[in-house]
Amino acid sequence: MFGKKEKAEKREGFIKRLRARINRGDSWLTYDLANLAPGGKIDEDVLEELETLLVMADVGVETTERIISDLQKSLARKELKDVEALQSSLRKSLCDILAPVEAPLSVRQTDGPFVILMVGVNGAGKTTTIGKLARRLKDEGYSVMLAAGDTFRAAAVEQLQAWGERNDVPVIAQQSGADPAAVIFDAWDAARARDIDVLLADTAGRLQSQSGLMDELAKVKRIVARRDEAAPHEVMLVLDASQGQNALVQAEKFHEALGLTGITVTKLDGSAKGGILLAIANKLKVPVRFIGIGEAAEDMQPFAAEDFVDALLASGEQKK
């Protein structure tokens, strides 16, 4: 297990990488606010231009309106005297949106394994996230088992087994095309028999528009509850940040079908630059457990609202 000093160093390194990767290319997230107000004066025109930048950065219309409304109130109270005051007020507004969803994953004592059902569309990084999460839980002292519930994608079981071998974690799998609910049901029994702390259950990547597949996920959830009525104890959606507003649509559909208890946002080093996280937090208010910025295990860390906002608002000087 990691010591406190090593954990702090890993966290500090992650924040530095987050700031560097999120601030590549052109978007409001890298935009020096001084460019919005060359004369240093903050007025309605400046806020209107900032509003456009927010919408273009996948923050979404509804969330952008909330942010700009907060800033307009500050402007009316003559609190936005300069760019520094605008930055401070914007930071507070973003933190107000994100702070309520900052909630680390907590593994509770249960009668049997603590079941985490992992869901998401193909390509979001779900299986990779499972591998990273297994590693993290092991490092925290928990025993972990993986359930290969994605029985339809050819390489899904092999990919999960590779993560199992890498982390020295057992994997319960069946033949291709097996009933996913049956695989996870059997895995629960195996985890209970071996006194495993956490069961991480993979599921097939779902297109949220395919209602039959969403129904099947709901079936998996019901079947697991037959073994433990409190299970799954966590329904975690893995979202690809580079999907932009489509990621918000996915989150809404999964939440409606399954009642999400947590979200992990991957690929924040992609083109969306993190604005979508604000839209999801504002609309759904589902806890954001982890954020990811790359392939390495240390590139996934617990979500911290203030650190994230500071990375978004890094000025040109901070990025050098």
> Tens digit of pLDDT for each residue in 159-199?
999 999 999 999 999 988 899 999 999 999 999 999 999 99
Q: Are strands 198-203 and 234-240 parallel, antiparallel or unpaired?
A: unpaired
Query: Helix 245-258 and helix 275-284: axis angle, to 10°?
Result: 30
226 C-beta neighbours (distance < 10 Å), count? 11
Least confident window among 105-109, 120-124, 311-315: 311-315
What rounded mean pLDDT belongs to the chain?
Answer: 88
Q: Where are the alpha helices (DSSP H) in 107-170?
A: 126-139, 156-167
> 134 near 165, Cβ under 8 Å?
no
> Tens digit of pLDDT for each residue in 26-41?
545 556 677 777 777 8
pLDDT score recorded for residue 319: 42
Q: What angle do CA 164, 168, 174 make, to 5 degrees?
A: 35
Three-class DSSP category at 262: strand
Least confident window among 17-26, 110-119, 145-154: 17-26
pTM, two decimals, is 0.91
Cα 13 to Cα 4, 9, 10, 102, 136: the distances in Å are 14, 6, 5, 20, 16
pLDDT score recorded for residue 56: 82
> Tens digit of pLDDT for each residue in 53-68?
888 888 999 999 999 9
Q: What does residue 292 show for φ and ψ, rounded to 5 degrees?
A: -130, 145
266's enclosing H/E stretch is strand 262-266
pLDDT score recorded for residue 111: 87
Instruction: Identify the burial level of 59 via C-beta atoms within 10 angstroms of its C-beta, where 0-12 means exposed, 13-18 middle and 19 or more buried.
Output: buried
**Residue 192 token pair:** 């209970």
For residues 40-59, average pLDDT: 89
> Tens digit of pLDDT for each residue in 208-250?
556 677 888 999 999 999 999 999 999 999 999 988 889 999 9
